[in-house]
Amino acid sequence: MAENDYVIRVLDAPGQVDGAAWNTLLALQDPDGGLNPFMRHEYLCAMHDSGSATPTTGWTPRFITLWHGDELAGASALYLKDHSYGEYVFDHAWANAYHQHGLSYYPKALVAPPFTPVPGPRLLARDSAARLLLVKALVAWCGEEGLSSLHLLFTSDADVVACEEAGLMLRHNVQFHWTNISTEIPVSSGNPRSFRDFDDFLMSLSQDKRKKIRQERRKVLDASVRFRWSLGKNITSADWDFFYSCYERTYYEHGNAPYLSRDFFQRMQEDMPENWLLFVGERNSIPIATSLIAVSASRAGAAGQFGTESGAGIAYGRYWGATERVDCLHFEACYYQPLQWCINHGYQRFEGGAQGEHKMARALLPVKTTSAHWLAHPAFADAVERFLEREGEGIEGYMEELERRNPFRQALKPA
Protein backbone atom coordinates (compact mmCIF):
# COMPACT_ATOMS: atom_id res chain seq x y z
CA MET A 1 0.00 0.00 0.00
CA ALA A 2 1.18 3.56 -0.65
CA GLU A 3 1.71 5.81 2.33
CA ASN A 4 -1.15 8.07 1.24
CA ASP A 5 -3.55 5.12 1.65
CA TYR A 6 -3.18 5.48 5.44
CA VAL A 7 -4.56 7.99 7.91
CA ILE A 8 -2.86 8.98 11.17
CA ARG A 9 -5.09 9.80 14.14
CA VAL A 10 -3.77 11.11 17.47
CA LEU A 11 -5.92 10.23 20.49
CA ASP A 12 -5.84 11.80 23.94
CA ALA A 13 -6.49 8.72 26.09
CA PRO A 14 -6.09 4.95 25.75
CA GLY A 15 -9.82 4.53 26.24
CA GLN A 16 -10.42 6.28 22.91
CA VAL A 17 -8.91 3.25 21.14
CA ASP A 18 -11.17 0.23 20.73
CA GLY A 19 -9.84 -2.37 23.16
CA ALA A 20 -10.59 -5.41 20.98
CA ALA A 21 -8.90 -3.83 17.96
CA TRP A 22 -5.83 -2.90 20.04
CA ASN A 23 -5.49 -6.37 21.59
CA THR A 24 -6.02 -8.11 18.26
CA LEU A 25 -3.20 -6.00 16.81
CA LEU A 26 -1.02 -6.85 19.81
CA ALA A 27 -1.62 -10.54 19.17
CA LEU A 28 -0.16 -10.19 15.67
CA GLN A 29 3.27 -9.26 17.02
CA ASP A 30 6.09 -11.79 17.49
CA PRO A 31 5.33 -14.63 19.94
CA ASP A 32 6.79 -12.89 23.01
CA GLY A 33 5.17 -9.59 22.12
CA GLY A 34 1.77 -11.11 21.52
CA LEU A 35 1.84 -12.63 24.99
CA ASN A 36 3.15 -9.51 26.74
CA PRO A 37 0.58 -8.35 29.33
CA PHE A 38 2.04 -4.85 29.66
CA MET A 39 0.89 -3.71 26.23
CA ARG A 40 -2.66 -4.93 26.69
CA HIS A 41 -5.35 -2.30 26.33
CA GLU A 42 -6.62 -3.08 29.83
CA TYR A 43 -3.18 -2.46 31.36
CA LEU A 44 -2.70 0.90 29.64
CA CYS A 45 -6.24 2.01 30.49
CA ALA A 46 -5.72 1.04 34.13
CA MET A 47 -2.56 3.15 34.26
CA HIS A 48 -4.57 6.13 33.04
CA ASP A 49 -7.96 5.60 34.70
CA SER A 50 -6.43 4.88 38.13
CA GLY A 51 -4.58 8.21 38.12
CA SER A 52 -1.18 6.50 38.08
CA ALA A 53 -0.05 7.75 34.63
CA THR A 54 -1.88 10.97 33.79
CA PRO A 55 -0.99 14.58 32.96
CA THR A 56 -1.07 15.29 36.71
CA THR A 57 1.73 12.78 37.31
CA GLY A 58 3.68 13.89 34.23
CA TRP A 59 2.34 11.34 31.70
CA THR A 60 0.17 12.98 29.04
CA PRO A 61 -1.15 10.33 26.61
CA ARG A 62 -1.07 10.89 22.87
CA PHE A 63 -1.81 7.50 21.35
CA ILE A 64 -0.73 7.51 17.71
CA THR A 65 -2.91 5.27 15.53
CA LEU A 66 -2.51 4.27 11.89
CA TRP A 67 -5.67 3.47 9.91
CA HIS A 68 -6.23 1.85 6.55
CA GLY A 69 -9.88 2.52 5.90
CA ASP A 70 -11.73 1.25 8.98
CA GLU A 71 -8.91 -1.11 9.96
CA LEU A 72 -6.48 -0.30 12.76
CA ALA A 73 -3.19 -1.09 11.00
CA GLY A 74 -0.82 0.32 13.59
CA ALA A 75 -0.80 1.87 17.05
CA SER A 76 1.65 3.21 19.57
CA ALA A 77 1.28 4.27 23.22
CA LEU A 78 3.05 7.64 23.29
CA TYR A 79 3.30 9.89 26.33
CA LEU A 80 4.43 13.49 26.63
CA LYS A 81 6.76 13.62 29.63
CA ASP A 82 7.84 16.60 31.69
CA HIS A 83 10.29 14.49 33.70
CA SER A 84 12.28 11.26 33.27
CA TYR A 85 10.99 9.24 36.22
CA GLY A 86 9.45 5.79 35.87
CA GLU A 87 11.34 4.95 32.67
CA TYR A 88 14.49 2.95 33.68
CA VAL A 89 16.49 4.13 30.66
CA PHE A 90 18.28 7.13 32.06
CA ASP A 91 18.62 10.37 30.10
CA HIS A 92 19.09 12.85 32.95
CA ALA A 93 22.51 13.84 31.56
CA TRP A 94 20.91 14.67 28.21
CA ALA A 95 18.31 16.85 29.94
CA ASN A 96 21.02 18.62 31.95
CA ALA A 97 23.03 19.32 28.79
CA TYR A 98 19.99 20.92 27.18
CA HIS A 99 19.39 23.03 30.28
CA GLN A 100 23.02 24.19 30.39
CA HIS A 101 22.68 25.46 26.83
CA GLY A 102 19.44 27.28 27.56
CA LEU A 103 17.28 24.77 25.72
CA SER A 104 14.18 22.91 26.85
CA TYR A 105 14.42 19.12 26.97
CA TYR A 106 10.90 18.72 28.33
CA PRO A 107 8.33 17.94 27.20
CA LYS A 108 9.70 14.94 25.35
CA ALA A 109 7.89 11.99 23.77
CA LEU A 110 8.13 8.51 25.29
CA VAL A 111 6.83 5.28 23.77
CA ALA A 112 6.59 2.58 26.45
CA PRO A 113 4.11 1.37 29.05
CA PRO A 114 4.54 3.57 32.15
CA PHE A 115 6.71 2.34 35.02
CA THR A 116 7.33 -0.98 33.26
CA PRO A 117 10.91 -1.87 32.23
CA VAL A 118 9.90 -5.02 30.37
CA PRO A 119 10.95 -5.62 26.74
CA GLY A 120 8.10 -5.93 24.27
CA PRO A 121 6.49 -4.46 21.15
CA ARG A 122 6.15 -0.69 21.09
CA LEU A 123 5.10 -0.32 17.46
CA LEU A 124 1.99 -2.47 17.10
CA ALA A 125 1.54 -3.07 13.40
CA ARG A 126 -0.08 -5.56 11.07
CA ASP A 127 3.15 -5.94 9.04
CA SER A 128 6.67 -4.53 8.66
CA ALA A 129 5.58 -1.87 6.15
CA ALA A 130 2.96 -0.50 8.54
CA ARG A 131 5.50 -0.62 11.38
CA LEU A 132 7.99 1.50 9.45
CA LEU A 133 5.26 3.93 8.47
CA LEU A 134 4.19 4.18 12.12
CA VAL A 135 7.64 5.07 13.44
CA LYS A 136 8.05 7.66 10.65
CA ALA A 137 4.71 9.12 11.69
CA LEU A 138 5.91 9.32 15.31
CA VAL A 139 9.03 11.26 14.29
CA ALA A 140 7.06 13.57 12.00
CA TRP A 141 4.48 14.30 14.70
CA CYS A 142 7.17 15.04 17.29
CA GLY A 143 8.78 17.47 14.84
CA GLU A 144 5.47 19.19 14.14
CA GLU A 145 4.82 19.53 17.88
CA GLY A 146 8.24 21.06 18.48
CA LEU A 147 9.30 18.32 20.92
CA SER A 148 12.94 17.90 21.81
CA SER A 149 13.07 14.14 21.36
CA LEU A 150 11.39 10.77 20.92
CA HIS A 151 12.32 7.68 22.95
CA LEU A 152 11.10 4.11 22.40
CA LEU A 153 12.15 2.01 25.38
CA PHE A 154 12.74 -1.75 25.74
CA THR A 155 11.80 -2.41 22.14
CA SER A 156 11.18 -5.71 20.35
CA ASP A 157 13.45 -6.99 17.58
CA ALA A 158 10.89 -5.99 14.96
CA ASP A 159 10.76 -2.47 16.42
CA VAL A 160 14.55 -2.21 16.29
CA VAL A 161 14.55 -3.02 12.57
CA ALA A 162 11.93 -0.36 11.85
CA CYS A 163 13.64 2.26 14.03
CA GLU A 164 17.02 1.67 12.39
CA GLU A 165 15.47 1.99 8.94
CA ALA A 166 13.82 5.25 10.02
CA GLY A 167 17.19 6.62 11.15
CA LEU A 168 16.77 6.48 14.92
CA MET A 169 19.76 5.94 17.21
CA LEU A 170 19.95 2.74 19.25
CA ARG A 171 20.94 2.46 22.89
CA HIS A 172 21.65 -0.77 24.73
CA ASN A 173 21.31 -1.82 28.35
CA VAL A 174 21.43 -5.06 30.30
CA GLN A 175 18.76 -7.04 32.13
CA PHE A 176 18.89 -10.48 33.72
CA HIS A 177 16.62 -13.32 32.61
CA TRP A 178 16.34 -16.98 33.62
CA THR A 179 15.62 -19.67 31.03
CA ASN A 180 14.05 -23.02 31.85
CA ILE A 181 16.51 -25.06 29.79
CA SER A 182 18.60 -27.75 31.40
CA THR A 183 22.28 -27.57 30.52
CA GLU A 184 22.59 -31.34 30.84
CA ILE A 185 22.08 -31.47 27.07
CA PRO A 186 23.81 -28.64 25.18
CA VAL A 187 21.41 -26.27 23.43
CA SER A 188 23.42 -26.74 20.22
CA SER A 189 22.35 -30.39 20.13
CA GLY A 190 18.87 -29.28 19.17
CA ASN A 191 17.29 -31.34 21.98
CA PRO A 192 17.16 -29.09 25.04
CA ARG A 193 14.85 -30.04 27.89
CA SER A 194 13.31 -28.13 30.75
CA PHE A 195 14.39 -28.68 34.34
CA ARG A 196 12.59 -31.57 36.01
CA ASP A 197 12.36 -29.83 39.40
CA PHE A 198 14.18 -27.26 41.52
CA ASP A 199 16.84 -29.76 42.59
CA ASP A 200 17.53 -30.56 38.94
CA PHE A 201 18.00 -26.82 38.37
CA LEU A 202 20.35 -26.54 41.36
CA MET A 203 22.48 -29.41 40.10
CA SER A 204 23.14 -27.46 36.89
CA LEU A 205 24.87 -24.70 38.88
CA SER A 206 28.45 -24.54 40.06
CA GLN A 207 28.98 -25.95 43.53
CA ASP A 208 29.44 -22.60 45.27
CA LYS A 209 26.26 -21.14 43.74
CA ARG A 210 24.29 -24.27 44.54
CA LYS A 211 25.50 -24.22 48.14
CA LYS A 212 24.70 -20.53 48.54
CA ILE A 213 21.12 -20.92 47.30
CA ARG A 214 20.50 -23.85 49.63
CA GLN A 215 21.87 -21.86 52.55
CA GLU A 216 19.69 -18.87 51.72
CA ARG A 217 16.55 -20.98 51.42
CA ARG A 218 17.39 -22.73 54.69
CA LYS A 219 17.56 -19.39 56.51
CA VAL A 220 14.01 -18.58 55.47
CA LEU A 221 12.78 -22.03 56.51
CA ASP A 222 14.58 -21.76 59.85
CA ALA A 223 12.79 -18.45 60.40
CA SER A 224 9.52 -20.45 60.16
CA VAL A 225 8.41 -18.64 57.00
CA ARG A 226 6.36 -20.67 54.54
CA PHE A 227 5.06 -19.54 51.16
CA ARG A 228 1.80 -20.08 49.34
CA TRP A 229 0.85 -18.90 45.87
CA SER A 230 -2.37 -17.88 44.15
CA LEU A 231 -3.03 -17.32 40.46
CA GLY A 232 -5.61 -15.15 38.75
CA LYS A 233 -9.05 -15.07 40.29
CA ASN A 234 -7.82 -17.20 43.18
CA ILE A 235 -5.97 -14.15 44.52
CA THR A 236 -8.39 -12.83 47.15
CA SER A 237 -9.17 -9.18 47.80
CA ALA A 238 -7.52 -9.57 51.21
CA ASP A 239 -4.35 -10.79 49.51
CA TRP A 240 -4.42 -7.85 47.11
CA ASP A 241 -4.84 -5.48 50.08
CA PHE A 242 -1.91 -7.06 51.90
CA PHE A 243 0.21 -6.94 48.77
CA TYR A 244 -0.46 -3.24 48.31
CA SER A 245 0.41 -2.44 51.92
CA CYS A 246 3.78 -4.15 51.35
CA TYR A 247 4.30 -2.48 47.96
CA GLU A 248 3.53 0.95 49.42
CA ARG A 249 5.76 0.35 52.44
CA THR A 250 8.71 -0.58 50.21
CA TYR A 251 8.51 2.72 48.33
CA TYR A 252 8.16 4.83 51.47
CA GLU A 253 11.12 3.05 53.07
CA HIS A 254 13.19 4.29 50.12
CA GLY A 255 11.88 7.83 50.52
CA ASN A 256 9.49 7.82 47.57
CA ALA A 257 5.75 7.72 47.06
CA PRO A 258 4.58 4.63 45.12
CA TYR A 259 4.11 5.06 41.39
CA LEU A 260 0.96 2.95 41.24
CA SER A 261 -2.25 3.54 43.14
CA ARG A 262 -4.33 0.93 44.95
CA ASP A 263 -7.00 1.53 42.30
CA PHE A 264 -4.58 0.40 39.59
CA PHE A 265 -4.21 -3.02 41.22
CA GLN A 266 -7.96 -3.18 41.80
CA ARG A 267 -8.35 -2.83 38.05
CA MET A 268 -5.78 -5.58 37.51
CA GLN A 269 -7.81 -7.85 39.78
CA GLU A 270 -11.00 -7.08 37.89
CA ASP A 271 -9.87 -6.66 34.27
CA MET A 272 -6.89 -8.99 33.72
CA PRO A 273 -6.56 -11.33 36.72
CA GLU A 274 -5.18 -14.14 34.53
CA ASN A 275 -1.92 -12.20 34.20
CA TRP A 276 -1.03 -12.13 37.91
CA LEU A 277 0.59 -14.60 40.27
CA LEU A 278 0.97 -13.75 43.95
CA PHE A 279 3.33 -15.33 46.49
CA VAL A 280 2.64 -14.73 50.17
CA GLY A 281 5.14 -15.60 52.89
CA GLU A 282 3.58 -16.45 56.24
CA ARG A 283 4.85 -17.08 59.73
CA ASN A 284 2.40 -18.93 61.98
CA SER A 285 -0.29 -18.32 59.31
CA ILE A 286 0.26 -14.55 59.52
CA PRO A 287 1.38 -12.92 56.25
CA ILE A 288 4.68 -11.03 56.48
CA ALA A 289 5.90 -10.80 52.87
CA THR A 290 4.66 -10.92 49.31
CA SER A 291 5.82 -10.76 45.71
CA LEU A 292 3.64 -10.14 42.70
CA ILE A 293 4.62 -11.77 39.41
CA ALA A 294 3.08 -11.13 36.01
CA VAL A 295 2.58 -14.11 33.71
CA SER A 296 1.89 -14.34 30.00
CA ALA A 297 -1.55 -15.21 28.71
CA SER A 298 -2.74 -16.88 25.54
CA ARG A 299 -3.13 -14.82 22.40
CA ALA A 300 -6.17 -12.66 21.89
CA GLY A 301 -8.90 -14.04 19.70
CA ALA A 302 -11.09 -12.15 17.29
CA ALA A 303 -12.75 -10.30 20.15
CA GLY A 304 -9.43 -9.26 21.65
CA GLN A 305 -9.84 -11.47 24.73
CA PHE A 306 -6.98 -13.16 26.57
CA GLY A 307 -6.87 -16.30 28.69
CA THR A 308 -4.38 -18.23 30.80
CA GLU A 309 -2.18 -20.63 28.87
CA SER A 310 -0.07 -22.85 31.10
CA GLY A 311 3.34 -23.52 29.67
CA ALA A 312 3.17 -20.67 27.15
CA GLY A 313 6.03 -19.52 28.94
CA ILE A 314 6.97 -16.14 30.38
CA ALA A 315 6.88 -14.79 33.92
CA TYR A 316 7.95 -11.30 34.91
CA GLY A 317 9.25 -10.26 38.31
CA ARG A 318 7.48 -7.03 39.27
CA TYR A 319 6.83 -5.97 42.90
CA TRP A 320 7.60 -7.12 46.40
CA GLY A 321 7.46 -6.01 50.03
CA ALA A 322 7.59 -7.27 53.61
CA THR A 323 6.43 -6.20 57.04
CA GLU A 324 9.35 -7.88 58.81
CA ARG A 325 13.05 -8.23 58.12
CA VAL A 326 14.09 -11.85 57.66
CA ASP A 327 17.50 -12.80 56.31
CA CYS A 328 17.30 -13.81 52.61
CA LEU A 329 13.52 -13.32 52.50
CA HIS A 330 13.82 -11.08 49.43
CA PHE A 331 15.69 -13.76 47.48
CA GLU A 332 13.14 -16.41 48.42
CA ALA A 333 10.12 -14.27 47.54
CA CYS A 334 11.46 -12.69 44.36
CA TYR A 335 13.58 -15.48 42.82
CA TYR A 336 13.40 -18.95 44.33
CA GLN A 337 9.64 -19.18 44.72
CA PRO A 338 8.96 -17.84 41.18
CA LEU A 339 11.66 -20.06 39.63
CA GLN A 340 10.29 -23.12 41.39
CA TRP A 341 6.79 -22.23 40.18
CA CYS A 342 8.01 -21.74 36.60
CA ILE A 343 9.72 -25.15 36.64
CA ASN A 344 6.66 -26.87 38.10
CA HIS A 345 4.31 -25.25 35.57
CA GLY A 346 6.45 -25.46 32.45
CA TYR A 347 7.07 -21.75 32.00
CA GLN A 348 10.11 -21.17 29.86
CA ARG A 349 11.43 -17.80 30.99
CA PHE A 350 11.52 -15.55 34.03
CA GLU A 351 12.50 -11.93 33.48
CA GLY A 352 13.94 -10.39 36.60
CA GLY A 353 13.41 -6.71 35.76
CA ALA A 354 15.80 -3.79 35.57
CA GLN A 355 19.39 -3.82 36.86
CA GLY A 356 20.87 -6.12 39.50
CA GLU A 357 24.08 -8.10 39.00
CA HIS A 358 23.20 -10.06 42.15
CA LYS A 359 20.60 -11.87 40.01
CA MET A 360 23.40 -13.78 38.27
CA ALA A 361 24.09 -15.72 41.46
CA ARG A 362 20.46 -16.92 41.15
CA ALA A 363 21.07 -18.10 37.54
CA LEU A 364 19.51 -15.10 35.79
CA LEU A 365 21.85 -14.41 32.89
CA PRO A 366 22.59 -11.07 31.17
CA VAL A 367 20.43 -10.13 28.20
CA LYS A 368 20.90 -7.02 26.09
CA THR A 369 17.90 -4.70 25.78
CA THR A 370 17.50 -1.95 23.20
CA SER A 371 15.87 1.47 23.07
CA ALA A 372 15.62 3.85 20.10
CA HIS A 373 16.00 7.63 20.17
CA TRP A 374 15.46 10.66 17.95
CA LEU A 375 16.59 14.16 18.88
CA ALA A 376 15.35 17.19 16.98
CA HIS A 377 18.41 19.40 17.56
CA PRO A 378 21.09 18.37 15.02
CA ALA A 379 24.08 19.28 17.20
CA PHE A 380 22.71 17.44 20.22
CA ALA A 381 21.79 14.47 18.03
CA ASP A 382 25.41 14.28 16.84
CA ALA A 383 26.71 14.53 20.42
CA VAL A 384 24.34 11.83 21.66
CA GLU A 385 25.26 9.56 18.75
CA ARG A 386 28.94 9.82 19.71
CA PHE A 387 28.06 9.18 23.34
CA LEU A 388 26.03 6.10 22.42
CA GLU A 389 28.94 4.69 20.40
CA ARG A 390 31.20 4.94 23.47
CA GLU A 391 28.50 3.66 25.79
CA GLY A 392 27.81 0.75 23.44
CA GLU A 393 31.46 -0.30 23.57
CA GLY A 394 31.22 -0.22 27.35
CA ILE A 395 28.09 -2.38 27.31
CA GLU A 396 29.84 -4.95 25.10
CA GLY A 397 32.74 -5.11 27.56
CA TYR A 398 30.33 -5.37 30.47
CA MET A 399 28.48 -8.26 28.80
CA GLU A 400 31.77 -10.08 28.23
CA GLU A 401 32.71 -9.62 31.88
CA LEU A 402 29.32 -10.92 33.04
CA GLU A 403 29.54 -13.94 30.76
CA ARG A 404 32.81 -14.93 32.46
CA ARG A 405 30.84 -15.09 35.70
CA ASN A 406 28.34 -17.62 34.36
CA PRO A 407 26.91 -19.46 37.40
CA PHE A 408 26.40 -22.77 35.63
CA ARG A 409 28.86 -25.61 35.91
CA GLN A 410 31.50 -25.22 33.23
CA ALA A 411 31.02 -28.78 31.96
CA LEU A 412 27.30 -28.10 31.52
CA LYS A 413 27.50 -24.50 30.40
CA PRO A 414 24.95 -23.67 27.66
CA ALA A 415 26.51 -23.84 24.19
**pTM for this predicted structure:** 0.93
Integer Cα distance of 34 and 296 in angstroms:
9
The pLDDT tens digits of the residues spanning 226-257 come to 999 999 999 999 999 999 999 999 999 999 99
Is it true that domain 3-167 has CATH number 3.40.630.30? yes
Backbone angles phi, psi at 241, to 5 degrees: -60, -45
CA nearest to 135, candidates 156, 115, 119, 116: 156
Query: Is residue 410 pLDDT above 90, yes or no?
Result: no
Give the count of alpha carbons within 13 A of 276, CB side only: 24
At the top level of CATH, which class does the domain 176-367 belong to? Answer: alpha beta
Mean pLDDT of the chain, nearest integer: 92
196 pLDDT tier (thresholds 50, 70, 90) = very high
- 188 compared with 64, residue with greater pLDDT: 64
Query: Is residue 302 pLDDT above 70, yes or no?
Result: no
Query: Is residue 221 pLDDT above 90, yes or no?
Result: yes
Show me where the domains of the chain are located.
Answer: 3-167, 176-367
Residue 301 has a pLDDT of 42
Answer whether 3-167 and 176-367 agree in fold: yes
For residues 213-225, average pLDDT: 98
